[in-house]
Chain A
Amino acid sequence: MANRRSLPASFIIYLVLIAIAVLDFYPVVYMAVNSSRTAVDFFRNPGGLPSEWNFDNFKALYYRFDVLRLFGNTLFSAAAAFALAMALTVPASFAFAKIRFPFRQGLYMTIIATMTIPSITFVVPNFLLLSRLGLVDHLASVVLLWAITSVPSNVFLLAALMRGIPNEILEAGKIDGIGYVRTLARIVVPLSAPGIITLAIFNATGWWNDLFTPLIFLQSDDLKTMTVAVATILKRFDTDYPLLLAGLFMTSIPPIAIYVALQKYIKKGLVIGSVK
């Protein structure tokens, strides 16, 4: 609709956009700036600037709270969960997209319907099951739950993309006599790479930000993921706002970095499903 806009109209548009930008971004700046203050300095004037920049909070996070280990726990679990999720998702999506068999539509609807089951409704039996297997308070529990509960939405997205793979390519593969595994590895996965990257971004940021699953299944402090550690360990020091803010700031850096670096994939993923 961009045409013949009057000067006052532009002015109003900018006014609204800038006001919302300030409201959107001020808390992030507030978090970043105040994480570099001492508690004394902070409480003298919570809305002000640091009287001097002080990075002790980050040092404390590194030495006292072993933040690298917390990052490592989260990264390891997310990577393992994504590998497992893809091992389950890729063949299933391929089957739904390109293989004909009886009851395909019904099975597809079953998987899609699973998306609407709230995870809190089945967490107790899982907790009991995994504790019987000795997996509670072990990263494996979180890996399993993250990976498997992500399968339905991943299949939904990936099957939609795989339907776009031209049948000629698959048939050419068949004529060359390559088997099922090689069809997946050589043709299907490379052709779905953009979709798989989108899923990696969505799953990884979702898991990085997740509180519920790791909160319930991990209990030792040294096994916690970063987000849970902030919500539980650091919270014990909740009178030291700047320290807490430093923890929140560090928790926010990976998602923001992923977003800044990989924006175009995120947009693609969000838009699938919203526009028909």
Chain B
Amino acid sequence: MHYRTRESLTGYLSLLPAFLALAAIVFYPMVNTFIHSFTKWNGADAEWIGLRNYTFIFTNGELWTLLRNNAIFLLSIPGILLLSLIVSVLLFEEVRGWRFFRSLYYIPTILSAVVVGMLMKMMFAQSGVVNQFLRGIGLSDGNTEWLSRAPTAFLVLIFCFYWQTLGQGVLIFLSGLSSISHEIYESAGIDGAGWWQRLIRITMPSLVPTIVYFTVTNAIYCFIGLFSLVYSVTQGGPGRETTPIDYMIYIKAFQSPGQLGYSSALSIVLFVIVLLVSWAQIRLSNRFEE
């Protein structure tokens, strides 16, 4: 056999197992979900109903509550971005013991969202330690029912999100910071630029690609990664007030009989949203590379 043909064949055969497996577990089920999004489906019998699932999703108002809940998490990203940046810049000053702090900050990131969620749920319980502390310092009467009202329930969820994301942010930004060349700082220092000037003129602009990366990964996380946290803290409640889209798909698929068609359609909506966010990421990172 010709040498080139044989090399091509080796290449395709190397890819074959991975692609077959992905076809069985990802590609085929995606097509299956797409087709069933046009049906009323209970897992066994599917009845073609055209676009009814989609018109229902877009008109019954539920989607806007779900999207609002995802949007609340999205809007909390700048906060954790700023916090991670501040902490990273302070760590980058390399005060004595900074490595210890860096290691410590990463611990919440490696814990399961389930552990974090259940732990925080207990700490924020009515008779829990957070209320005890707030009463101790006189900030509240210590009877706040954090999880029974939507605004405070969101505060607890976002606290968990921040608590877990800080370690990741710090690690990413520290590596971004250390890739900035020392000569730039030195020449800026010779030109008489102060600490703040260097921060704003050199450090921040060089960190832009890392900031984009952090923002986009977390934006995608806000659409597809919240399941475990919501499951273990609020179960989407009170009512549907803290239910993001992915959790709703789970409820419709596994806790409401006969709604598999509806949950398939909702899955496709989520898929399109994530596709748009990823597309935005590619556009953004291409722009910053120029």
* Interface residues, chain A, with chain B CB atoms under 8 Å away: 1-3, 5, 10, 13-14, 16-17, 20-21, 23-25, 27-28, 30-31, 43, 45-47, 87-89, 91-92, 94-96, 99-102, 104, 107, 111, 114, 116-126, 128-129, 144-145, 147-149, 151-152, 155, 180, 205, 208-212, 215-216, 227, 230-231, 235, 241, 244-245, 248, 251-252, 255-256, 258-259, 263, 266-267, 270-271, 273-276
A residues near B93, Cβ cutoff 8 Å: 1-2, 5, 13
List B contacts of A266 (CB < 8 A). 106, 110
Task: Tell me whether A121 and B129 are in contact (CB under 8 A).
Answer: no
Q: Which of B11, B107, B127, B133 has the most CB of A within 10 A?
A: B11
B26 touches A13 (CB 8 A): no
Q: Are B11 and A271 in contact, CB atoms less than 8 angstroms apart? A: no
User: Given A91-B15, A209-B114, A256-B107, A24 and B163 touching (CB < 8 A)?
Assistant: yes
| A120 touching B224 in the complex, CB below 8 Å, given contacts A24-B104, A271-B175 | yes
> Are the CB atoms of B127 and A43 closer together than 8 Å?
yes
- On whether the beta carbons of A107 and B107 are closer than 8 Å, the reply is no
Residues of A within 8 A of B189 (CB): 3
- Which one of A46, A87, A88, A118 has the highest number of Cβ atoms from chain B below 10 Å of its Cβ? A118
Contacts A24-B108, A117-B271, A251-B112 given; does A244 touch B122 at CB 8 Å? yes
Q: State whether A148 touches B25 (Cβ < 8 A).
A: yes
Chain A interface, DSSP helix/strand/loop, else mixed: helix
- Chain B residues within 8 Å of chain A by Cβ, number: 98
Q: Known contacts A88-B18, A101-B12, A144-B25; can you find 19 more A-B pairs with CB under 8 A?
A: A21-B101, A28-B111, A30-B119, A30-B123, A43-B127, A96-B15, A100-B8, A119-B224, A120-B250, A122-B30, A125-B32, A126-B25, A145-B25, A209-B115, A231-B232, A255-B111, A266-B110, A271-B175, A275-B176
B275 within 8 A of A: yes
**Interface check B60, CB cutoff 8 A:** no
Note all chain A residues with C-beta closer than 8 A to B203: 1
Interfacial chain B residues near A231, Cβ < 8 Å: 114, 118, 231-232
- With A99-B14, A120-B249, A274-B176 known as contacts, the answer to whether A17 contacts B90 (CB < 8 A) is yes
Q: B95: CB under 8 A from chain A?
A: yes
